[in-house]
Amino acid sequence: MEIKELGHLVLYVRDLERSTYFYRDVLGWQSLLESEGDVPLRFQCAAFAAPTGRTHHELLLIEVGPDAAPLPKGPRIGLYHFALKVGDSDDELRAAYQDLLDHDVKIVGASDHTVSHSIYVEDPDGNEIELYVDVPGVDWKADPALFASPIKPLEL
């Protein structure tokens, strides 16, 4: 078997409306399907794709309600974070950072990974998301070890 690409991500969320706002209106995902639409669904959900239209859906949110257990803090088994590329330059990362500030999004870090520059945020349910740009001119294909370079603080 050979994996060709990462297909999509599915997240359980407490409040579908709140999470839809975050992923659609703050992060800019294109809304494809919401439970209140024309399609009869077995559960409350919303589907999204990146504006590139690369595939049928890249993100699916499934509402599990207010009584769902919260994500445990600290090291644990399971998802640590997922990453979304927001452009090709630090200027685009700065613009994304300003959008986050304008929407009062919780920013939990910013890192220079040598191969990429990243801002880390949490969605309304505490899922960590890395928003990043690749650093122009860094040839990680010629030197794959650059991926494991020491992490440095990022100043935007």
Domain-located, residue 112: yes
* Higher per-residue pLDDT: 86 or 156: 86
Report the pLDDT averaged over residues 79-105.
Answer: 96
What's the confidence (pLDDT) of residue 71? Answer: 86
Angstrom distance (rounded) from CA 82 to CA 76: 15
Give the mean pLDDT of the chain.
90
Full residue range of the structural domain in which residue 98 is found: 81-153
Q: In this structure, which amino acid lies at residue 21?
A: Y
Residues 57 and 88 in one domain: no
Q: What is the DSSP letter of 148?
A: G
Each residue of 1-39: pLDDT tens digit?
987 888 899 999 999 999 999 999 999 999 987 655 555
What's the confidence (pLDDT) of residue 128? Answer: 95
Each residue of 109-140: pLDDT tens digit?
999 999 999 999 999 999 999 999 999 999 98
Residues 54 and 91 in one domain: no
Q: Residue 41: pLDDT above 60?
A: no
What's the confidence (pLDDT) of residue 147? Answer: 86
What's the confidence (pLDDT) of residue 98? Answer: 97
Residues 91 and 142 in one domain: yes
Residues 59 and 94 in one domain: no
Domain-located, residue 26: yes
What's the confidence (pLDDT) of residue 52? Answer: 82
How many structural domains is the chain composed of? Answer: 2
What's the confidence (pLDDT) of residue 22? Answer: 97
* Higher per-residue pLDDT: 53 or 28: 28
* Higher per-residue pLDDT: 130 or 53: 130
Q: In what order do the strands lie in the sheet with 81-87?
A: 81-87, 128-134, 116-122, 107-112, 152-153
The CATH number linked to 18 is: 3.10.180.10
Angstrom distance (rounded) from CA 134 to CA 112: 10
